Chains A and B, each alone.
Chain A
């Protein structure tokens, strides 16, 4: 028998008062699947993630359907949702510097998660925490476990965060730009660890990032968000090789590669003209039309839905001839 997906999102809307930062997002992530969520700042990626965790900021509302582990998370009460967070669904945040409790030893912070969700003793929880730290490639875990967050490096802190997220073998980990705050040299190690650990546990991964190469290396599918909607969704190879939405195309063109960076200063690095529209002043029709070269009257009037080609666009980019 096939397992239910790790998460199934239908028409998720997240907003504040009458303003919606996420406007009808749907996707399904199978068990052990890896999905990348990309988009500029303000496109609604992080708000989507927080809504899936039931941790939208105070005053924000979330509607739609989020099926996970046989329940609709949108309608869960805080108490019963709390029994899931960290156990069946967990999250790694962007900034490890500020995401750990500054007055508690890091080993205890991992053990707390284990102790909270399983019936094991404090001592057993600590033993498991040390095991996790070993899996996270942390040398001398006993000594490190007794450190406070301010005593260890950013990379180590993020490993602790990942260990906390993995501790209870969740079905899904949401990683919201887990390496943005880290040194470039450390980024790769941390991603590799997260990747391997998730694979070992058959944990699904929802990877939120600006970093397209990371998605290419780690994910099966990618969803591109713009102004609160998914504008293109498909297998990573397909989307990256042959984007159908003009926004995706623009994002890919603005990535530096060996081809478009010239050392003599005559760079041909692309950029998307204009800016992400503010929530209170979204364009009519396709929200991307003011920045799109291919925009027509229809784009201004009607909002396109995701089509069979995986893009929400009236005039999709022509498929690249192989």
Chain B
């Protein structure tokens, strides 16, 4: 297992390094003169040079790259050209919305998908099993924003139970913040749950047809025991992979739900800064997201090692 961990960690660091070069080259190299872009097309050459000097943009690319990477490791993600705010502060305040949104949405999705997928895999001939399959198809077809709008119409406008949008800070009004997140989390969870249900269903179907489940039954396990003790344990492997991919997709991919519910989350921040040509902000935030995604992949790989001895003990 130690060798496995070391190998996965080394791969993680290597991948982060490669990604940082790719991002730097894409944003700086392909983006043209950064100072000119920031100042707009009416700027004078003198002004452009002054700005370039001020931010060190006139130095060689290699120097700038290592400067940037070095600062990231020190927790300094740079500053916004326009507002001079520290990117770190911007990101942290946005993450205080995005992380609870994503994590709770995913948990809700799993909470729906694991029982629903398992049930429909084992009871496809019963009405409820068929209904689950149909609902999951519908859930996959429904765009998340539409689910969000419908939910906010019902619970926000018609019943008035929850806010239809907006955000108050955690520190200012904790329960207000919670209430603002409920509908986004439910919309995200329902849609995620629908697609995860299909993965769980097919994983359970596949596992329950394996010979070793029959062996478990032949040695005295009831259907339910074989499912819980042997089936789900083995089905956890493919499900972990899918969940890992979903987290990765979620962290920067909740822009639609954030827009529908007017939440100042990370995704909307990136979008706004791309539009505003905030090169440093975009570069650093994207880098952060990539590190996060790769970290999740690392966790999934390690989890795989824990779950599956064939992976852990492979030479």
Chain A residues packing against B (C-beta within 8 Å): 53, 55, 59, 78-79, 82-87, 90-91, 93, 95, 98-103, 112-113, 116-117, 148, 150-151, 161, 164-165
Query: Is the pair A113, B222 in contact by a Cβ cutoff of 8 Å?
Result: no
**Of the candidates B211, B218, B313, which one forms a contact with A90 in the assembled complex, judged by CB atoms under 8 Å apart?**
B218
Chain B residues packing against A (C-beta within 8 Å): 125, 210-212, 214-223, 225, 230, 233-234, 307-310, 313
Query: Is the pair A82, B221 in contact by a Cβ cutoff of 8 Å?
Result: yes
Bound CA span A79–B224, Å: 10
Q: In the complex where A99-B211, A103-B234 touch, is A90 in contact with B310 (Cβ < 8 A)?
A: no
- The residue of chain A having its C-beta at the shortest distance from the C-beta of B309 within the complex is A148
Query: Is the pair A82, B233 in contact by a Cβ cutoff of 8 Å?
Result: no
Query: Is the pair A93, B309 in contact by a Cβ cutoff of 8 Å?
Result: no
Query: Is the pair B309, A103 in contact by a Cβ cutoff of 8 Å?
Result: yes
Query: Is the pair B234, A102 in contact by a Cβ cutoff of 8 Å?
Result: yes
Bound CA span A103–B303, Å: 13
Query: Is the pair A99, B220 in contact by a Cβ cutoff of 8 Å?
Result: no
Bound CA span A161–B215, Å: 9
Closest 8 CB pairs of A and B: A86-B219, A86-B220, A98-B211, A148-B309, A99-B211, A82-B222, A113-B219, A101-B212
**Of the candidates A59, A78, A85, A102, which one forms a contact with B219 in the assembled complex, judged by CB atoms under 8 Å apart?**
A85
List, in ascending order, chain A residues with CB within 8 A of B220's CB. Answer: 82-87, 113, 116-117
List, in ascending order, chain A residues with CB within 8 A of B214's CB. Answer: 55, 93, 99
A61 to B: closest C-beta gap in Å: 14
Query: Is the pair B309, A53 in contact by a Cβ cutoff of 8 Å?
Result: no
- The residue of chain B having its C-beta at the shortest distance from the C-beta of A151 within the complex is B313
List, in ascending order, chain A residues with CB within 8 A of B215's CB. Answer: 93, 99-101, 161, 164
Q: In the complex where A53-B218, A85-B220 touch, is A98 in contact with B313 (Cβ < 8 A)?
A: no
Bound CA span A282–B215, Å: 32
- The residue of chain A having its C-beta at the shortest distance from the C-beta of B215 within the complex is A99
Bound CA span A117–B120, Å: 31
With a 10 A CB-CB cut-off, give which of B125, B234, B309 has the most chain A CB atoms.
B309
In the assembled complex, 23 residue pairs joining A and B whose CB atoms fall closer than 8 Å, in A order, are: A53-B218, A55-B217, A79-B222, A82-B222, A85-B217, A86-B220, A90-B218, A90-B219, A93-B211, A95-B211, A98-B211, A98-B212, A101-B212, A101-B215, A101-B216, A102-B212, A102-B310, A103-B234, A103-B309, A113-B220, A116-B219, A150-B310, A164-B215
Bound CA span A102–B313, Å: 12
B119 to A: closest C-beta gap in Å: 15
List, in ascending order, chain A residues with CB within 8 A of B211's CB. Answer: 93, 95, 98-99
List, in ascending order, chain B residues with CB within 8 A of A93's CB. Answer: 211, 214-215, 218
Bound CA span A151–B309, Å: 10
- The residue of chain B having its C-beta at the shortest distance from the C-beta of A58 within the complex is B125
Bound CA span A45–B313, Å: 38
List, in ascending order, chain A residues with CB within 8 A of B219's CB. Answer: 85-86, 90, 112-113, 116, 164-165
List, in ascending order, chain A residues with CB within 8 A of B218's CB. Answer: 53, 55, 85-86, 90-91, 93
B307 to A: closest C-beta gap in Å: 7
List, in ascending order, chain B residues with CB within 8 A of A165's CB. Answer: 219
List, in ascending order, chain B residues with CB within 8 A of A82's CB. Answer: 217, 220-222, 225
List, in ascending order, chain B residues with CB within 8 A of A161's CB. Answer: 215
